[in-house]
Chains A and B, each alone.
Chain A
Amino acid sequence: MLCRYIFLLICAVFIKLTCGERLHEQIYSSIEGGAACFRRLNGSHQAGCSSANNGAVGVVHFVRELSDANWLVKNATAGSYMAIVNTALFREVIDTFLKQPENIAGVLLYHNSSLGIPAFSQDSRCPNEYFSGPGSTCSSLEPSSSVWNEGGTNLMRRDIPFPIFFIPESRLEEINKIEQCFQSFNLDMDNQNGRPLCSVQMHSFMFAAVDSTVCMRRSASSALITSAKVCDPLGDRNVYYSLFPQSKETKKRVVMVTARIDSASLFDGISPGAASSAVGMVTLITAASILAQMIPVETNTYDKNVLWTLFNGETFDYIGSQKVAYDMRYGEWPPLAPLKYSDVEMYLELGQIGGSLLLHKEDEDWPFKMFAPVTANNLVVVSETVEEMSRHLATFNMSLQLTSTQNLPPSSLHSFRRILQDIQEEKNGKNLSSVDIDLNGAMSQMVMVDHNDHFTNVYYNSALDDYNNIGFNYHNLSIGNDGTFITTNDLIANGTMKRFEAQVKIALLATAVARTLYRRIVGESYTGNLTASAHLVDEMLYCFMKSQACRLLLAADYAKSGGGEENLPEKPAPLYVGVTAWPGTASVFAGHLLALLTGTHLAVNRTQCEAMDKIEYSYYWLKGWNHSGVCIQTTMNFSQAISPAFTISDYDFASGEFSTWTESVWREMWVRVFVAAGGGGARAAGVTGAVATACVAALTYWLRSRARHIFIEAPAASLVSTDAAAGIMRTVNC
C-alpha cells in the first residue's frame, strides 16, 4: 500500500499528471463485452482467427459502405487498419478483406439490429458437407448447386488471417467510444500517414496451429517432455431417455426420436442457436414429457419403446451422433441395454425447426417438411407416421408434407446413414453400387424440418440466432408448487397468450409428435385430451434463450446438501458444444429437465434416494418445484459425445471418417482503443535530444579542458594537506 502511494505521489509531483491517474489509463481505453473469433482445427486445416502473440494493431476505419472497404484494401496509406463493420455489411465486406488481407489488421464487428440484417451465417453453405450420408447432393464448391444454407459464408471453417471481435448490441456504447475517437483523429482520409491516428489493438493469440494432428501431438506429454496443452477435442455429453426402462432381458424394439442440443457461432461464448437447435430440443423435451403422461410408465405392456435422444456437438461434423452410431455398430450403446440397428424400428429426427416461426408470426400456420429416403422397405412406416402426424397437425391448422429423397438436410441421421452404408459395403464385399442401406426394414428414417430446399433460418449457427429470431416474448407465469403448468387451451382462452405465438405453436407441435408416437407404441390413435402446455414451453425457451436463472432450471438443479440456493447466471447457457475437458451446462440442463418432467417423483429422503439401486433406473436428487429436494427415478442418462477419432488408437486424422475438430487454447482476449503516435513527438525528441547532447558534450569538454583559465576566481580548496598520509594510503589497496 505504502509503495503504491509513494508511487502515486511521484507520478503526481514529477510526471505532473492530471489528477494523479496512471498514465496508462489516459492512453488506453478497454473495449468491454467483445467476443473473439477463435481457432478450431480439424484433421486437415486450421479454421478461425488468431492475432499475433502481442496482439494486432491497426488504424480505426469505419466501414459504412462497400466503397469504404475497397478504399481500405486499395488506397489506405497508414499501414494496417482495423475495420469497424456492422453485421449488415459484414457478409459482403469480409470477402473483400479475405481476398486482399494485406492492409487489414483486424475486424471489429458490431451488431445494430436497426440496420436490418439480410442473412448472417458463418457456417458452410452445406453444413457438415463432408460428413453427409449417401445420396446428398449439396455441394458448397459448385456455385450452381442447390444449397441448404444460402447465406452461409463458411467463415467458421476457413482460416482467417486476422482477428475478429464481435460487439453485441447491448454494448453499442463501446462502438460510440471508438467512433468519437475516429471522428476527432481519422477523418482526413487522404493525409493519414504520419499523423496521430485513432487505433485499436486486438489480442486473441491462439496456441494451436496447423491441424488437429499436429496440435494433439504437441499437446501430448511423453516420458521425456511435459508439454503445455495447446488444443482440446470438441465434445460434451449426449442425453437419452427411454419411455420404459430398458434392460438386456426386457429389450424392446424402439422408436428413436432425436434432436440436437448444440449450436455455434464464430465467436467465443456466443451461441444462442434459437432456431438452429433450441426449438427442436425444446419440442423434444416437451413431447417427451407429454408422452410420459399419455403412456404412464406403469402400463409397460407394449412391445415397443421410445428412445428420446439429444445429440451434442452436431454442428461440428456430427460428433455426438457419430459416437452413438459407432458405438451401436459395436453393440455398446446404450451401455445398459445395447441396441442393434435392427432394433430401431423408426428414426424420427426433429431437425432444424423454428426458422419459419417469424414468417408465420401473424397466422396460425407452421408448415413442416418430412424428409425421408423412402424405399419399399420403409414405405409403410414412413407413410403411416406422416399421415398420422399431418392429421394431428391439421387439427391445429399446421401442415406436414412428405419429401421422399436421398438428399437429406443437415441432420444427425447422416451419421447413421454413413455407418449403415459401411456395414452394407462390408456385407456386399465392398460393392459400392448398392445404396440400399436398409437392413431388412431397420431404421425407417425421417427428418422433420420447417424448411424446403433452403433454410428459412437466415441466421443459421450464428451470433444473431437469438430469441428475436423466433419472435419469442417471455410471459413470466408462475409454476404451481407441484409442477403443474397452465394448459395451452386455458392460456388462449383467458387471453394470456395468442394462438400465433411461438410458445403455443411449439406446444402444439410437441402434442402432435407425442400423439403420433402414441399411435406407434399403443397401436391405436390417442383419444384423450392431454396437450403439451405452452406455459411449459414458455419457461423452457426462457431458460435456454434468455436466462439460466429461470424457474425450470432452478427446480432441475442438483439440490445442495446445505440447502443453499445457488445463483445461476442471468444469461443463457451457451449451446456451443465446448471441449471435452470442460463439461457443458446445456446438456446437463436438458438431461435434468427430462428427468424432472418425465421421471417418477419418489417420496423418499435424500439418503434413501442415494441408496436406491434398481439397475434399469438412475436416481437424481434435484431441488424440485418447491426447492425442498425431490428424488427422481428416471431412465434418463448421459453418454459421451466425443468423436470416435479421439478414442480409436492410431486413428488417421486425415481419413475423413469421423469428426476431428479440436479447439485451440488461448490465454486472454481483449480489445483496447487508443491514439497511435504519428511520429511527430519522436522526431522532436530525437532532434532536440541529439542537439542537446552534442551541445552539452562540447560545453563540458571546453569547461573541463580550460578549467584553469575559466574558473580563475575559484574558491580555495580545502585546507587539508594533500601530503599528510598519502604515503600510507597509497600502499593500501582499498
Chain B
Amino acid sequence: MTVAEFFSCSLLAFGPPLVMFAMTVANDPVRIIIMIAAAFGWLLSFLLSSLVWFAVVPLRSYLAFGMVFAVIFQEAFRYGMYRLLRKTEAGLKEISENHEIGSNKLEMAYVSGLGFGLMSGAFALVNVLADSIGPGTLGLHGGSEYFFVTSAAMTLCMILLNTFWSVIFFNGCDEKNYLKIGWVIKSHLFVSALSLLNTKGLYAATIIPSYIVLVINAVVAFQCAGGTFKSFVQSFSVRS
C-alpha cells in the first residue's frame, strides 16, 4: 500500500506543475534557463534564511520566527529575480530562436515563478515522500494516515501560489503598484502562518483557507496578465 502512496502523492504534488512545465516551458531553452535560475534563486534565499535562523540562537525553537524570515528572504529574492530578468530580457530575447518569447511581458514572471515554486515544493515534499515509501505511516504517536496526502496537497498549493505570486509581483513592480506587491507578501505570510496550525493536527484548517487564497491569487494573476472574465468566456466562442 505504501508504494502506491508514494506514487499517488508524487502525482498530486508534482503532476500539475509538471504538466505546466511540459506544455509551456519545455519547448523553449531560454524559458528553461530562466526557470532553473529562479529555482537557484529560491535555494539562495533559503540558505540565507537558514543562516539567520542558525545565527540567532535564542529564537531557534520558535517556528514562527524562522518562518517570517524565510518569507521575507523569498520575497527579496523574487524582487532580485525581477531586476535580473528585466536587465537580461533583451539579451535573452536575442539568443532565443523562439520569437514568441516576450510577446507577453509577464511570461518571464510566470516561468520564474514556476521555478521558484518547483524548488520550494521539492524541498518541502522530498523528505516526506522518502518516508511515505513505508512500510509505516503516521498514527503511532498521533497524526493520521492522511498526513501524506495533505502534505502533497499543501505542496501543490505552494507551487501554484509561487507561480501566481511571481506574476502579480512582477506586474506590481512594472506598474509601481505597491498594493500588488504588498498583497503578495501578505498572502505569503498568511499561508505560511496557516501551516503553523498543522502542529495541532488541524489539516483542514490549513488546506481550505490556503486553497481559497490560491484561487484569489489565480484570479488576480490572470487579471495582471491581461485576462478578463469576459475575454475568458468569449474565448470559448471564438475560433482560434
Contact = CB atoms under 8 A, between A and B. Distances in A.
A181 B140 contact: yes
A709 B143 CA distance: 48
A16 B228 contact: no
Contacts of B97: 730
A196 interface: yes
Contacts of A28: 136, 140
Nearest to B170: A715
Contacts of A717: 102-105
A495 to B, nearest CB: 53
A714 B124 contact: no
A688 B153 contact: yes
B199 A16 contact: yes
Interface residues of B, number: 86
B227 A16 contact: no
Contact of B120 (A9, A14, A20, A201): A14
A675 B137 contact: yes
A6 interface: yes
Interface string A699-725: 011101111111111111110101011
A11 B152 contact: no
Interface string A177-211: 00001000100000000001011010000000000
A278 to B, nearest CB: 41
Nearest to A711: B226
A110 interface: no
B138 to A, nearest CB: 6
Nearest to A25: B141
Nearest to B11: A689
B89 A720 contact: yes
Contacts of A730: 97
A253 to B, nearest CB: 66
Nearest to A714: B226
B146 A680 contact: yes
A673 interface: yes
Contact of B137 (A13, A681, A713): A681
A692 to B, nearest CB: 5
Chain B at the A interface: mostly helix, strand, loop or mixed? helix
A729 interface: yes
B93 interface: yes
B104 A707 contact: yes
Nearest to B232: A710
B226 A675 contact: no
Contacts of B192: 13
Contacts of B2: 676-677, 682
Given A26-B138, A676-B2, A718-B89, A685 B149 contact: yes
Contact of A710 (B49, B90, B156, B227): B227
B26 interface: no
B106 A689 contact: no
B234 A700 contact: no
B145 A677 contact: yes
B156 A675 contact: no
Contacts of B158: 14
A564 B195 CA distance: 58
B196 to A, nearest CB: 7
Given A13-B63, A685-B8, A697 B19 contact: yes
A679 B124 CA distance: 23
B15 interface: yes
A689 B9 contact: yes
Contacts of B228: 712-713
Interface in B66-120: 66-67, 70, 89-90, 93-95, 97, 99, 102-106, 120
Nearest to B100: A707
Contact of B171 (A686, A715, A722): A715
Given A709-B234, A714-B106, A57 B135 contact: yes
A707 B146 CA distance: 38
B4 interface: yes
Contact of A686 (B8, B54, B143, B198): B8
B123 A10 contact: yes
A678 B138 CA distance: 11
Nearest to A195: B145
A62 interface: no
B66 to A, nearest CB: 5
B204 to A, nearest CB: 13
Contacts of B93: 718, 720, 722
A718 B47 contact: no
A15 B50 contact: no
B16 interface: yes
Nearest to A698: B19
Interface string B44-69: 00110110011000000001001100
Contacts of B90: 718, 720
B142 to A, nearest CB: 8
A73 B158 CA distance: 48
Contact of A10 (B124, B137, B138, B140): B124
Nearest to B64: A13
Contact of A726 (B94, B146, B171): B94
B212 interface: no
A29 B5 CA distance: 21
Interface in B125-154: 125, 127-128, 131, 134-141, 143, 145-149, 151-154
Contacts of A711: 104, 225-227, 231
A377 B124 CA distance: 87
Contacts of A23: 127-128, 131, 138
Contacts of B240: 705-706, 708-709
Q: Which 9 residue pairs of A and B lie closest in terms of their CB atoms, listed nearest first?
A: A674-B136, A689-B12, A675-B139, A714-B226, A693-B15, A686-B8, A689-B11, A696-B16, A16-B198
Given A712-B227, A713-B228, 19 more contacts: A11-B127, A24-B131, A677-B145, A681-B137, A682-B1, A682-B8, A686-B4, A689-B9, A689-B12, A693-B11, A693-B15, A697-B16, A704-B23, A704-B24, A709-B235, A711-B231, A713-B226, A714-B106, A722-B99
27 contacts: A2-B54, A13-B66, A13-B70, A14-B158, A15-B124, A16-B206, A17-B199, A26-B138, A27-B136, A201-B135, A675-B139, A677-B2, A677-B134, A681-B146, A685-B5, A685-B149, A688-B12, A697-B23, A702-B235, A710-B227, A711-B104, A711-B225, A714-B104, A717-B102, A718-B93, A722-B99, A725-B94
